[in-house]
Structure 1
Amino acid sequence: MSVEFDYKKALQKIPHKPGIYQYFDSENKLIYVGKAKDLRNRVSSYFVNDRMLNAKTRVLVSKIRDVKFTIVDSEIEALLLENNLIKEHQPRYNVMLKDDKTYPSIVIKNESFPRIYGTRKIIRDGSKYYGPYASVTMMKTMLEMIKGLYPLRTCNLALTDPNIKAGKFRVCLEYQIGNCKGPCEGLQSRADYESSIADIKNILKGNTGAVLKHIRDQITEAANNMDFEQAHKLKFKLDKLENYQSKSTVVSTILHDIDVVSIASDPKYAFVNYLKVSNGSIVQTQTIELKKKLDESDRELLELAIAEFRNRFESDAKEIVVPFEVEIDDSNIKFTVPKLGDKKKLLELSQKNVLFFKKSKLEQYEKLNPELRTERVLTQMQKDLHLSSPPRHIECFDNSNFQGKYPVSAMVVFKDGKPSKKDYRHFNVRTVEGPNDFATMKEVIGRRYGRVIEEQQPLPDLIIVDGGKGQLSSAVEVLKQLDIYHKVPIIGIAKRLEEIYYPNDSVPLYIDKKSESLKIIQHLRDEAHRFGITHHRKRRDKGTLVTELELIEGIGPKTAESLLKYFKSVKKIKEATKEDLLEIVNLKQAQALLSYFGKGE
């Protein structure tokens, strides 16, 4: 907390009212904008107990030299104002809104006989904008449909009544080929043109029901007047519009105007999806990305995104479907957390979209910077396994024996989620007779971490033992004897159902089968098993041969090992001459070997 900023004096001026607050640094630069139901309480929370703040927020607080505020009537107004200030000033410590300024929209120009076309530039001249559209193709498809239904002018002539009456203009090729009705020469009335514009506005809003009714009424009127040619043209319009409506995502005939939002986040980014539903159809959808600055919660980010979407799409829906409760106090808007029904299906659709968007975005970032994936996976493992820190250094143990003989244990090491093979270790078990996994685990854990303590090496961030509660309990017992039990977390993994066991907890943890955390744990377990089995086979094969040599009179275990080490195999021992054998053994032993292998003199 900075001593240069007298926050107590500043707080005296701040009321207990809803509004937005702005923090400025020593250069009077805006560094943070926030909203609050109670301005004084919210601002004071930054200064009263800095131990409750995370590291990034403490840095922000240290730079504050002034605070300003604006009172508003409701929290939704505070949201909108906060959103606009963030977009305009991009304060350093606020969530970074990635603005989709390059997305196209359809504009109905504020002019006499309005033109309709696609644009990426928003001009505040009274024109109406619809969109933005997620793709240019989608926008062009909409414009083509409108053009087929309603012939409109495409020229930029000043079609004022005086200019038209003065005969300043002549119809162009667009009129000749039927794409325009010639308002420039007064061949189309203003009322007829504006009727078409009204229908187009309804279509762009998703309100095709009103347009369909209007066209059906026109068909009936034309038929009653025996104007069958006009009725045929209108029927063509009706069919085209109904075909368009059938291709839109119809959710429910009883749902009208609602907004749907959902969020998916990770430690650095958040993604929020928006669905706009009008007359039972999804008419707009978009996903935005937010870059976190101060470890903002999903609730805070969702509230910010709601304000952004409602402003961007000029939504006036009276109901917003959300995945959890939000703290926006506005009597004109109903927030719904659905449990079942059509609204629940809508929310699930939105969540499906946002998760897909999140996955594709993170994959892009991770291709450019592989360290991002490492951080994400380790953070997810920390969360899934309930650890206090990301497990950057993991050691995993697995035991092997052959019919109770030649017991060995293997330790593999993963660093930053990847095998660190130079740190792998084998253990030839010394104190255990017979197939006793619990005793083997005790010996190996004791030898490994006794040496770590003796050599003052760093402890791992996580120990994994391949086995259930029994092996885990054996390992825990040794860690307690070494007085490091509370210094390093340890878990066991049972093979059958991939159950994760914790010390002193009989109920296992089941991690999502598709989780990257489980995949890394399985990789560790499989790698430990492979490494252990490879060493075990070598020792078993060597042990079998040594046992055979020991059957020869005068050949003991040490002599047998020396022979194998020198000759590499029993076959070469069989082929060896007396002179070759005397390089390793004495004359009596050499004669015993030659006799055993049928080469005696």
Structure 2
Amino acid sequence: MSRPESESEAPHSEQLLSEVAALPGLPGVYRYFDAQGQLLYVGKARNLKKRVSSYFQKNHDGTRIGHMVSKIVRMETTVVRSEAEALLLENNLIKTLAPKFNILFRDDKSYPYLKITGTRETFRTAGARPVPSIVFPRMAYYRGVVDKRHSYYGPYPSAWAVKESITLLQKVFRLRTCEDTVFANRTRPCLLYQIKRCSGPCVDLVDSEAYGRDVAAAERFLRGETQAVLDELEARMMAHAEKLEFEQAAEIRNQMSALSKVLHQQAVDNVSDKDVDVLAVKVQGGRACVNLAMIRGGRHLGDRPYFPAHVEDATQIDSLMAEEGSHSADPVERVAVQVLEAFIAQHYLGIAMPHTLVTSHPVGKPLLDALTEQIGAKINAVHQPREHRRIWLEMAQKNADIALARLLAEEGSQQARTRALAEALALPDDNLDELRIECFDISHTAGESTQASCVVFEAHKMQNAQYRRYNIDGITPGDDYAAMRQVLLRRYGKIAEALRAESEETAAPAETTDASEPAAEGATDATSGLPTGPRMPDLVLIDGGKGQVSMAREVFQQLGLDLSLIVGVEKGEGRKVGLEELVFADGREKVYLGHDSAALMLVAQIRDEAHRFAITGMRAQRAKVRTGGSRLEDIPGVGPKKRARLLQRFGGVRGVASASVDDLCTVEGISTELADAIYRALH
């Protein structure tokens, strides 16, 4: 095996090359790792030996694949029985391990559903005595684990789509939406009955038989059997008319009218296609968007855009290393196909999916075979569709174009703001993608439940996963300065200690080693050249003026940290937005950036996010303290399920506290001993 010229810069070990040479010519999955054990790339191949060898035999200098290959120090492979198995394994690994050079979609499958409770026959007939809340099923918005006792319709692309469908069913079929506890305690009809959105089963204004017919009609409508629903409603209307029951006939006529109006508004409604997913791809400016439109029960429920990461790196690697039979010679079209197939493979793994996909680009047969094998039913992908499917695809394509254009505009605006702030504060601008800003805020209500927030801005966006909240204790209530001191010491104390230790380790060899040897060995990684160890942010924003900044300066002086990192955001005259001034801890004069400054917009965005995060945390903590929720959670033997039953049975913690031991024993799973323990803990 010959080595490429690029190996002179990043030679690979003999062990790695011998492993490559020994690979079998079978289908499988390969994984590349760097010196730190980080997963770089996951790929599949019909022939492992041929595919993997090409990485090390070809010259990839000056390309993204060359950059990746230069980092490979270890490889793992898994042989499978077929290309379909290889594809499924590859995408399972991509989803779970998030490699650096693969197209990666955010794993967001928590779709909402419309739930109709207790409609399963086994559940309805399980009890000896019918329960009113079961006899009169409830419809609700739902997101979570499916319960076999209930019926679920969807998934829907958004919460808005579910709530719109609930509103429609309220208008047409008048099903209840109230909680069972509310339903069981009503003595007079609610406002929904008054505005003809509910038939009033809570106060016996409709019998169970008539209500059951409405539930059955609603379920048939959700399944796409709209014509059957209209026919049944018409038959019931005519029957009432023949009996001279004109008032009831008029009500059913109004139901039919409302339903027909909705069906006419649904311009792309088609009863021949019950469940279809429509997928459109747009690639532009190094980014991509996959727009997923959902058709359920013959109705277009809406769509949702997805934006993958690592598009440029992954598509260049896939293109250069593509096996025979690539879909298109056009680079843009080829990237679109790769993005589409990556989305389909990652999105539909492990979830129920419709048997028909309408796609903007052709999908490879191996992928469809893999999905067919996974769900046990034939999956069809329709490219260049006709009639109503073509209308669906055109709508999805237009929405993909709009979503990607909006993303590129937002990213361009955010990058411009980052650069403007770096220029205004003389921050290093050689790599703005790595500029890190941390912002702190304190929130409390008259000294109660004081919380501090720390939010992070990096890579031109807020990094929600890195947000932190700090409960502040041991201070005088309402002392914001003491709270700021505490949170800064907790946030940067260990980092400062680690930086001092690292400095001592790197300085010690410089005094004893020969001048020809590197003095700072260990400060950077020998393989990657990247700095190791803890890292301070490039900017620390404090929501406050001179007082808060003075406290931050004291903390940084105590920890031996750079004072130039601290910037306070002081509210302007009248506390008006756009008049904020920046206050510095290192003695610089205040700076007013201007109300239309892009830099000030970014500062305000980060400051407002810190404020929002602190307030929500404080309110949650305050509510928890005031309701005594933590007291119930701290009782041994009361887990989440028993706690939920108690709260539902007695309407809250106060109701549980006022209940007697005998009352507590009536709750499922609560023994006499546990009821006594709960009573004593709450009294």
Q: Normalising by the residue count of structure 1, what TM-score does the alignment of the two structures yield?
A: 0.48
CA radius of gyration, larger in: 1
